[in-house]
A = this chain, B = another copy of it.
Amino acid sequence: MINLERVVTFLAVVNRGGFREAAKHTGLSQSAVTQHVRRLEESLSVNLIVRNNAGSTLTEEGKVFLPYAENLVRTGSRACALFDTNRLVIGASSNIGIYVLPPHLRRFKKTATCNFDVVIGDNLTIVKKLENFEVDVAIMEWWDQREGFDACVWRSEALAVIVPVEHPWAKLASIPLDWLKGEKLLGGETSSGTGRLLQHFFGSVADSIGVSMQLGSTEAVKRAVQAGLGISLVISSSVVDECESGRLRSVKIEGITPYKNLYVICRGNMLENTPSAHFKKFLLQ
Q: Is A271 interfacial (CB-CB < 8 Å)?
A: yes
Contact A271 to B79, CB < 8 A, known contacts A1-B73, A4-B3, A4-B4:
no
Q: Name the distance in Å between A224's Cβ and chain B's nearest Cβ.
A: 29
A67-91 contact mask (Cβ, 8 Å, vs B): 1 or 0: 1110111011111101111000000
- Let me know if A60 and B271 touch, CB within 8 A: yes
A side interface size, CB within 8 A: 37
Q: Is A101 interfacial (CB-CB < 8 Å)?
A: no
Q: Is A240 interfacial (CB-CB < 8 Å)?
A: no
Contact A76 to B46, CB < 8 A, known contacts A68-B82, A71-B133, A271-B61:
no
Question: In whole angstroms, how far apart are the Cα atoms of A69 and B76 in the complex?
Answer: 9
Of the residues B1, B44, B77, contact of A83 by C-beta under 8 Å: B44
Contact A76 to B72, CB < 8 A, known contacts A3-B4, A64-B269:
yes
Instruction: Mark out the residues of chain A between 110 and 131 whose CB falls within 8 Å of any chain B CB in the assembled complex.
Output: none
Q: Is A174 interfacial (CB-CB < 8 Å)?
A: no
Question: In whole angstroms, how far apart are the Cα atoms of A76 and B78 in the complex?
Answer: 15
Chain B residues in 8 Å Cβ range of A65: 79, 82-83
Q: Is A24 interfacial (CB-CB < 8 Å)?
A: no
> How many copies of this chain does one complex carry?
2
Q: Is A285 interfacial (CB-CB < 8 Å)?
A: no
A1-32 contact mask (Cβ, 8 Å, vs B): 1 or 0: 11111001000000000000000000000000
Q: Is A63 interfacial (CB-CB < 8 Å)?
A: yes
Q: Is A45 interfacial (CB-CB < 8 Å)?
A: yes
Of the residues B4, B69, B78, contact of A68 by C-beta under 8 Å: B78
Chain B residues in 8 Å Cβ range of A46: 83
Besides A1-B80, A64-B83, A72-B75, 9 other CB < 8 A contacts? Answer: A1-B73, A4-B4, A45-B85, A61-B271, A67-B148, A67-B269, A68-B79, A69-B79, A72-B76
10 A-B residue pairs with Cβ-Cβ distance under 8 Å, sorted by A, are A1-B8, A1-B80, A2-B4, A44-B79, A44-B80, A64-B270, A67-B267, A67-B269, A69-B79, A72-B75
